[in-house]
A = this chain, B = another copy of it.
Amino acid sequence: MTVMKPFLSDNAAAVHPKLWEAMRAADEPDNPYDGDRLSAELDARFTGLFGRECAALWVATGTAANCLALGTMVQPHGGVVCHREAHIEVDEGGAPGFFLHGAKLMLAEGEGAKLSPEGIAALIDPIRNDVHQVQPHAIAITQASEYGRTYGPDELAAVGSFAQSRKLGLHMDGARFANAAAFLGGSAAEAARAASGPVDSLAFGFIKNGGMGAEAVVLFDPGAVAQVRYRRKRAGHLQCKGRYLAAQILAMLDGDLWLANAQAANAAAQEVAAGCAGRLLHAVEANELFVHLTPAEREALRAQGFAFYDWGADSARFVTAWNTRAEDAAALGKAIAAL
């Protein structure tokens, strides 16, 4: 029998050894909730990383991170513009409706699951400015997008300017923010820069990148912090042993492990992509590949031990992770090329 070479998802990958170390090191008494020494370091560490004053709070999931952040910009009677295929619309079980108390997701179109000012305007310009129609309060973009595409500086600036001009908040779902930043040159600040400054909030994902159960809600709007602190508790997301979450995140920031892990995953994706000429549905910019493959071709790959998800009838999705073995990625690229 063939050993499994896993390309299913980065969301189930093992935890990085340095995070285990950090968590074990946190295994001594400290204040509960976020009163511990590690949690107290977060604001400063993220401020350093982004070169911009910000607050950072741990939560256990990206869903919670996105929704808590959006809650600072969206009133219950308002709406959030997102892409029709955005994770918050398609894969969060209606969490935005819950956390935002019935606010509405407003679905825009855009190539590669990315939004542009044009796409957003096409959606919201026809909305009558009256009480019968839900008004947009914020925009949510995903960096990297649900198709593994990134927003470059110009694209971010355009969306950011648009948001400002319409007085809309701007949130970035960064479940794979590290992979996007790695692709864009390695600067977290740049990958989250909107127009004149950063996005209003960022859900900075670590779990898919070697973490166990900690993401960061990064808030660049100081006025938003108190609300998120209260609502994190109210949503049952204030863990009493929060130091283990803080430990994970700090270990990720130490020596830019977050970036190294993402670079490794991205490199593996490029290795695979090298064999996918003519088959790619989307440019490979992060660690996901969407590849045209017939059922018979997928069958053949699975027979060789590659594990992955179907993507519709004629394609497959491959995801690399921080710990994808280079030989597995190379083998997959070759196997696809050989089909």
Q: Which residues of A contact B (CB under 8 A)?
A: 4, 6, 8-9, 11-15, 20, 23-24, 27-32, 36, 59-61, 63-65, 67, 75-77, 79, 90-95, 97-105, 131-135, 207-208, 212-213, 227, 229-241, 243-245
Contacts and interface: CB of A to CB of B under 8 A. Distances in A.
A13 B67 CA distance: 30
A125 B211 CA distance: 35
A94 B234 contact: yes
Contact of A237 (B30, B32, B61): B61
Contact of A90 (B63, B133, B213, B241): B133
A330 B134 CA distance: 38
Contacts of A229: 131
Contacts of A59: 236
Nearest to A97: B102
Given A101-B76, A104-B94, A213 B244 contact: yes
A32 to B, nearest CB: 4
Contacts of A213: 60, 213, 239, 241, 244-245
Nearest to A226: B131
B60 A236 contact: yes
Contact of A131 (B8, B133, B230): B230
A24 B20 CA distance: 8
A14 B32 contact: no
Contacts of A233: 63, 92-93, 95, 131-132
A234 B93 contact: yes
Given A93-B131, A212-B244, 16 more contacts: A12-B241, A15-B241, A23-B212, A63-B236, A64-B235, A93-B134, A93-B233, A94-B104, A97-B134, A98-B101, A99-B236, A104-B105, A131-B238, A213-B241, A213-B244, A235-B236
